[in-house]
Amino acid sequence: MITTAVTYDELADLIKRGAGVSVDPRELERASDTPFGILGLDSLGMLGIVGELENQYGTSLPPDTERCRTPQEFLDLVNSTLKAGA
Amino acid sequence: MSTKGMSSKGVNSRGRTRGSRAAITGIGVIAPNGLRADSYWKSVGEGLVVLDTISREGCDHLPLRVAGEVRGFDAAGLIEERFLVQTDRFSHFAMAAAALALDDAGIGRGAPEEPFDIGVVTAAGSGGGEFGQRELQKLWGQGPRYVGPYQSIAWFYAASTGQISIRGGFKGPCGVVASDEAGGLDAVAHAARAVRRGTGAVLVGGAEAPLAPYSMVCQLGYAELSTVEDPSRAYRPFTEAACGFVPAEGGAMLVVEDEHRARDRGAPVRAVVAGHAATFTGASRWDRSREGLAQAIRGALDEAGCAPEEIDVVFADAMGVPEADRAEAGAIADALGAHGSRVPVTAPKTGIGRAYCGAPVLDIAAAVFAMEHRLIPPTPNVYDICHDLDLVMSRARPAEPRTALVLSRGLMGSNAALVVRREDDSAR
In chain B, the percentage of residues whose pLDDT exceeds 90 is 93
| Distance from the B191 Cα atom to the nearest Cα atom in chain A, whole angstroms | 29
* Of B107, B128, B131, the residue nearest B119 (C-alpha): B107
**Angle (CA) B418 B420 B425, round 5°:** 160
Residue A12 within any structural domain of the chain = yes
Closest residue on chain B to A59 (Cα): B145
Which residues from chain A sit within 8 angstroms of residue B83, using beta carbons? 20
Q: Which residues of B touch A40 (CB under 8 A)?
A: 82
In-domain check, residue A41 = yes
pLDDT digits (tens, 9 = 90+) for B205-258: 999 999 999 999 999 999 999 999 999 999 999 999 999 999 999 999 999 999
Average pLDDT for B141-164: 95
State the complex-level ipTM.
0.89
pLDDT at residue B29 tops 50: yes
CA distance A64 to chain B (A): 15
Does A2 reside within a domain?
no
Across the interface, of A19, A45, A51, the residue whose CB is closest to B145 is A51
B356: closest CA among B27, B76, B94?
A: B94
Q: What is the pLDDT of residues B254-283, one digit of tens each?
A: 999 999 999 999 999 999 999 999 999 999
Our count of domains for chain A comes to 1
Q: Is the pLDDT of residue B9 over 60?
A: no
- How many CB atoms sit inside 10 A of residue A7's CB? 12
- Does residue B6 or residue B324 have the better pLDDT? B324
Task: Write down the pLDDT at residue B14.
Answer: 60
pLDDT of residue B11: 55
Q: Which of A40, A47, A51 sits opposite B82 (nearest CB)?
A: A40
CB contact under 8 A, B80 and A20: yes
**Structural domain includes residue A73:** yes
Enumerate domains of chain B plus CATH numbers.
3-264 (3.40.47.10), 271-421 (3.40.47.10)
**How far is residue B156 from each of residues B91, B124, B125, B250, measured CA to CA in Å?**
10, 9, 10, 17
In a domain, A1, yes or no: no
The DSSP H or E segment spanning B161 is helix B159-168
Q: Per the domain annotation, does A54 fall within a domain?
A: yes
**Range B362-391 average pLDDT:** 97
Find chain A residues with C-beta within 8 A of B84's C-beta.
Answer: 20
Q: Are A74 and A65 in contact (CB under 8 A)?
A: yes
The residue range of the domain holding A20 is 8-85
Give the start-end residues of each E strand in B21-112.
22-30, 52-53, 66-67
* HSE-up of residue B239 (Cα within 13 Å, Cβ side): 19
Residue of B nearest to A15 (CA): B82
Residue contact A18–B82, C-beta within 8 A: no
Domain with residue A34: its CATH number is 1.10.1200.10
Measured distance CA(B290)–CA(B32) in Å, rounded: 30
User: Considering only CB atoms, which chain B residues are within 8 Å of A48?
Assistant: 148-150
What is the rounded average pLDDT for all residues in chain A? Answer: 92
B145/A18 touch (CB, cutoff 8 Å), yes or no:
no
Per-residue pLDDT, averaged over B116-138, amounts to: 96
pLDDT at B428 over 50: no
Closest Cα partner for A41 from A66, A62, A76? A66
Q: Please name the residues between 43 and 102 in chain B that touch chain A, using a CB distance below 8 Å.
A: 80-86
For B247, the 3-state DSSP assignment is strand
Residue of B150, B155, B156, B166 to mutate, testing the A interface (most A Cβ within 10 Å of its Cβ): B150
Contact B86 A20 (CB under 8 A): yes
Predicted pLDDT of residue B108: 84
* pLDDT of B311 strictly over 50: yes
B166 touches chain A (CB under 8 A): no
Residue A49 lies in a domain: yes
In a domain, A3, yes or no: no
Among chain A residues, the shortest Cα distance to B83 is held by A20
